Amino acid sequence: MKQVRRKIIHCDCDCFYASVEMRDNPNLREVPLAIGGKADQRGVIATCNYTARGFGVRSAMPTSQAIKRCPELVVMRPNMEKYRIASRQILEIYRDYTDLVEPLSLDEAYLDVSQSSRLRGSATRIAEEIRQRIVEQVGITVSAGVAPNKFLAKIASDWNKPNGLYVILPEQVDEFVQQLQVDRLFGVGKVTANKLHQLGIQTCHDLRNWSLPDLLHQFGKLGASLYSLCRGIDERQVIASSERKSVSIEETYTQDLRRFEDCIAELPVLYASLEKQVQRTATSQHIQKLNIKLRFNDFKQTTVECKANTLSQQKFADLLKIGYQRKQLPVRLIGLGISVHDKTDDEQLKLFE
């Protein structure tokens, strides 16, 4: 039986939150715009338009720093319900072409169109039509990458941003990957990138000179992934899923919580907020773990989790104590969250019990 050639599309909305706001208020299109928290409340930038990026404003940057770089920056609070509506509209468009849609976030998704009969099975034409429909029906732009696997499709979607399309054909994979900087490889963060550079590895061409045993010795399990990716190999499947995997809330404090007692005093309010989120998302029957996140005043972060099948303020208090004792520094952010079971898996387990 002839193996089907994989055709993967990665779609990524261009500065999604900002694009939705500019769609609804055209006056914002010509000004530097950012969506995020207030500068005087230690807010951070969630996203910004390309005008703001020209001033050096970036996602995850403290709002106060962004305003220093761009004094004329317009900062708007996020309107998450508006963004969710736009995201649902976009997902409906994707699912007109394939059932194999894997959302990564509100503004990003993989599509496997290997078996799609739309537009004579051309992944490139499908990507073009999807982008055009999103402009017409949702009013924002999307960049897309087309490639034989998820790794390359995601890189391709970023190649011609904003509002671009880039295609990597199977016969182009080897040449494309060889010149790719190792910083672009899936799973390579700053620490790993620095280690690779120290070893004299800048590109995938350099990385191919290393054997699998040597990479495993240097990088553990990641070494196997590096060995495959630098050759353009990625066997990960596009997994269609609409199941929620987690629910969380967090609070960034205007004034540092200087002692553990100050942190524990905030717990009832945070817990009540999480309870409301769990109730709203109907996930109380699917809790698998509880977790807590702390960010200290040195901007270092720690997380602690435990297994649980129900909410418990006392367990969150225990996790908070463990997390705080790791550094015992003033705290600027506390987050509470849960991990949830896949409901389908739960139903299958009950069937075979």
The domain that holds 28 is classified in CATH as 3.30.70.270
Q: Is 204 exposed, middle or buried (0-12, 13-18, 19+ CB in 10 A)?
A: buried
Q: Which of these, 125, 171, 182, lies nearest to 148 by C-alpha position? A: 171
> How many C-beta neighbours within 10 Å does residue 3 have?
5
The total of other beta-carbon atoms located within 10 Å of residue 249's CB is: 17
Going by C-alpha positions, the residue among 10, 291, 285 that lies closest to residue 145 is 10
Q: Is residue 123 part of a domain?
A: yes
Range of the domain at 137: 1-168
In a domain, 237, yes or no: no
Q: Is 231 within 8 Å of 187 (Cβ atoms)?
A: no
Residue the block writes with tokens 């769609």: 23
The verdict on 106 and 7 lying in the same domain is yes
* Domain shared by 254 and 339, yes or no: yes
Is the peptide bond between 268 and the residue preceding it cis, with omega within 30 degrees of 0? no
Give me 317's structure tokens: 């208090």
Task: Select from 172, 105, 131 the least CA-distant residue to 9.
Answer: 131
Question: How far are the Cα atoms of 25, 150, 190, 195, 238 from residue 221, in angstroms, in the given order?
Answer: 48, 19, 17, 15, 22
What total number of domains does the chain contain?
A: 3
Q: Looking at the domain assignment, is residue 241 inside a domain?
A: no
Close Cβ partners of 140 (under 8 Å, ≥ 6 residues apart):
13, 14, 16, 19, 20, 23, 86, 134
Same domain, 89 and 139: yes
161 and 189 in a single domain? The answer is: no
End-to-end CA distance of the chain, in Å?
A: 37
- What pLDDT score does 281 carry? 75
In a domain, 63, yes or no: yes
Residues of the chain with pLDDT under 50: 1, 343-353
Question: Is 76 inside any structural domain?
Answer: yes
**CATH code assigned at 261:** 3.30.1490.100
Q: Is residue 239 part of a domain?
A: no
Do 332 and 263 reside in the same domain of the chain?
Answer: yes
CATH number, residue 217: 1.10.150.20
Residues 60 and 198 in one domain: no
Euclidean distance between CA atoms 329 and 335, whole angstroms: 16
Give the annotated binding-site residues. Answer: 12, 107
**336 dihedral zone (left: phi>0; alpha: psi -120 to 50; beta):** beta
Backbone angles phi and psi of 179, in degrees to 5: -90, 0
pLDDT value at position 284?
86
In 3D space, the residue among 46, 75, 76 whose CA is nearest the CA of residue 58 turns out to be 46
Task: Please check whether residues 72 and 97 belong to one and the same domain.
Answer: yes
Nearest to 110 by CA among 130, 137, 86: 130
Residues 143 and 157 both lie in one domain: yes
- Binding-site residues for Mg(2+) sit at 12, 107
The half-sphere exposure of 157 on its side-chain side, counting CA atoms within 13 A, is 25
List Cβ neighbours of 313 (8 Å cut-off, separation of 6 or more). 267, 268, 271
Looking at residue 342, its pLDDT comes to 55
Domain stops at, among 168, 186, 217: 168
Three-state DSSP class for residue 83: helix
Residues 91, 218: one domain? no
- 308, part of any domain: yes
Report helix, strand or coil for 286.
Answer: helix
Strand pairing partners for 249?
336
pLDDT tens track for 230-247:
999 999 999 886 566 788
> pTM of the prediction?
0.71
Are 48 and 102 part of one and the same domain?
yes
Same domain, 9 and 99: yes
Q: What is the DSSP letter of 15?
A: T
Residue 236 lies in a domain: no
Indicate whether 113 and 140 sit together in one domain. Answer: yes
Residue positions annotated with a catalytic role: 108
Q: List, in sequence order, every beta strand (DSSP E) within 68-201.
A: 74-76, 101-105, 108-112, 142-147, 165-167
What pLDDT is attached to residue 243? 61
